Every structure is written in C-alpha cells, then in structure tokens.
Amino acid sequence: MFISEAFAQAAPAAQGGAESTLMSMLPLVLMFVVLYFIMIRPQMKRQKEHKAMIDALAKGDEVVLASGVLGRIARMGETYLHVEVANGVELQVQRSSVVQVLPKGTFK
C-alpha cells in the first residue's frame, strides 16, 4: 500500500582485477618505503657508527658510559673494559655500554 516494493540490483561486472589488486597494495608498499628511509636506514647507520667507535677504543681513552659515568679506560678485554672513575676506583663494564669517546683532557 504505502510501501513500495524494493528490487535487488545486479552487481556490476568486475573489471581490471589484477590492476585493482595492485592499486590496493600500492599504499602499503609506499608506507614501507617511507618507513625504511625515515626509521630503519638511520638506525642501521647509527649502529654501524657505534660499532666502529667500540672497535676503535684504546687504553687511556676518556669515555662516557650509558649510565652517565665519566671515566678513563684502564684495562681492556674482549668484551669488558675496566674504567677508572676516580683514583684507585675501577668499574668493570661491557664494551657496548660506552656511549661516547671524549676528547683527551676532558676527564681529570
């Protein structure tokens, strides 16, 4: 009476199936490329620089540890360093805990 009858419409024919799949994946691929250049690549560069700094450490270098402690390298081992933080006081730390090598004469 007052309600008109509804008729189902036929679904439109699918066109360009492979092309539409490629276009739907394009934003995801684009996001990964941007993520790589903004986050992953700079992090790998920092890791490479840190490894080179750790490998170049020598006895007598003045360093800053990850905890913020300043000291001078007294003895070196394969994986550990002995860092002198005061006269007669040495800390044994892992090589990877060295954050920065200071210029000579900074630590007294």
Structural domain includes residue 45: yes
Nearest 5°: phi and psi at 104?
-60, 140
Same domain, 47 and 73: no
Same domain, 37 and 78: no
Structural domain includes residue 5: no
Same domain, 51 and 65: no
Q: Tell if the pTM clears 0.85, that is, is over it.
A: no
Q: What is the CATH number of the domain that holds 63?
A: 2.30.30
Assigned token pair, 107: 């630590």
Ranges of H-type helices in 1-108: 17-35, 41-55
Same domain, 66 and 96: yes
Same domain, 47 and 66: no
Same domain, 88 and 108: yes
CA 44 to chain centre: 6
Per-residue pLDDT of the chain (108 residues; tens, 9 = 90+): 677 777 767 666 556 566 778 788 889 999 999 999 999 999 999 999 999 999 999 999 999 999 999 999 999 999 999 999 999 999 999 999 999 999 998 877
Q: Which domain holds residue 62?
A: 58-108
